[in-house]
Chain A
Amino acid sequence: MDLVKFVNEQTPKNALPTFNPGDTVTVHYKIKEGAKERIQQYQGVVIQRNGVGANETFTVRKVSNSIGVERIFPVNSPNIDKLEVNSRGAVRRAKLYYLRGLTGKKARIKEKRGSY
C-alpha cells in the first residue's frame, strides 16, 4: 500500500488557501472549448471534502434559480485556476448534507468570528 501512497504523493498539489466545510468559496475553473480556453466562476458553500492525493475532492453547493446545484471539484485538478474564500462558516459537522433539505433563511450558515 505504501507504493500507492508514493504515487499519490507525486501528484502536483494546487496551492489553494485552506478552506473547510461551511465556507463560501468562488472556484475559478478552466473550461476548454475546442482550442479556446476560458475561466468560469462558480460560487457556493463547501458541503464536504473527501479523499486524498489525486482523488481528493470537495463539493460546492449553491442555489441557482431556486434549484439546488452541487458540483464536485478535484482539489488538485490542473483545471482549477484559482480559489477564493469569501467567508468562513461556523458549522458543527464535516459533511453538511442537511443543507439539501433546507431552503431560504433556514439554509443560512453563521459566519465564523475572529481572524484566521
Chain B
Amino acid sequence: MSGIIGKKVGMTSVYNAEGKNIPCTVIQAGPCVVTQVKTVEIDGYASVQLAYDEKKDKNTSKPMKGHFAKANTTAKKKLVEFKKFNDAKTIGEVITAELFVEGDLIDVVGTSKGKGFQGVVKRHGFAGVGGQTHGQHNRLRAPGSLGASSWPSKVFKGMRMAGRMGGDRVKVQNLQILKVYPEQNLLVVSGSIPGAKGSYVILEK
C-alpha cells in the first residue's frame, strides 16, 4: 500500500476514451513530506507519517516546530500515519500526486458531511409507515415497534433510532484515477467522495 493526503476541491465531469461523460471529483493531492518513520524496534509498529498543507509559523507550537525541523520542512496543518507502506521512505522525502497514474484504482477516506439530528427514515433507511390512508394521520416517518413485550422487557442495545447523522469516517473503495495534473498537484477521480469542499481526504493505493 501507498498513500497521500489531499483536499477535496469540487466535482465536475470529463469524457472517457469511449466518449462517455463520467462524473468525477477533483482532488488536490500533496505534495506531502515524510515527517517520521516509525519502526517495530523503536515504536512497536511500522508506519510512515506524512504532513500536508502549509501552516503559519506563529500558529505552530514549539514542540511541533521541532518535529518539523527534524524533517527539514516548514510547519504543516495535517499529519497522517500510514501503516504497511510498500517502499521504505526516509524522513524528509516528498511524495507528490505523481504517485498515481491514470487508470489506477484507489480508496478515498474522508469525513462525511454532518447532517444533524435525523430520523430513522433518512438515517437508517426505514420505510416509514408507507400509507397515508386507513386512518393514518401522524406517523408517516415513525420507526414503528422497538421490540417485543414482557420478554425481554427492555429495548435491545444497538436498536436503530433517530440521532446524530454524518460526520463519520467513510471510505469509498475502487475509484478510478481519470486524470493526473502533476504541475497543479491535481487528481481527477471517478465518482463522488465523502466530505465538504476543502476537507482533508486520505488517498490509498
Binding site for B on A (CB under 8 A): 1, 3-4, 6-8, 10-12, 30, 32, 53-55, 74, 76-79
Contacts and interface: CB of A to CB of B under 8 A. Distances in A.
Interface in B148-205: 179, 181, 184, 186, 188
Contacts of A12: 15
Contacts of A7: 12, 14, 26, 179, 181, 186, 188
B74 interface: no
Interface of B: 9-15, 18-19, 21, 26, 28, 179, 181, 184, 186, 188
A3 B184 contact: yes
Contact of B186 (A6, A53, A54): A6
B15 A11 contact: yes
Contacts of B188: 7
A103 to B, nearest CB: 32
A54 B13 contact: yes
A3 B19 contact: no
Interface of B: prevailing SS = strand
Given A10-B179, A78-B19, A3 B13 contact: no
A55 B15 CA distance: 10
A77 B22 CA distance: 11
Query: Top 5 closest A-B pairs, CB basis?
Result: A78-B19, A4-B10, A79-B19, A3-B9, A54-B13
Nearest to B13: A54
A7 to B, nearest CB: 5
B91 to A, nearest CB: 30
B117 to A, nearest CB: 31
A27 B195 CA distance: 40
A50 B204 CA distance: 36
B113 to A, nearest CB: 18
B12 A1 contact: no
A11 B10 contact: no
Nearest to A76: B15
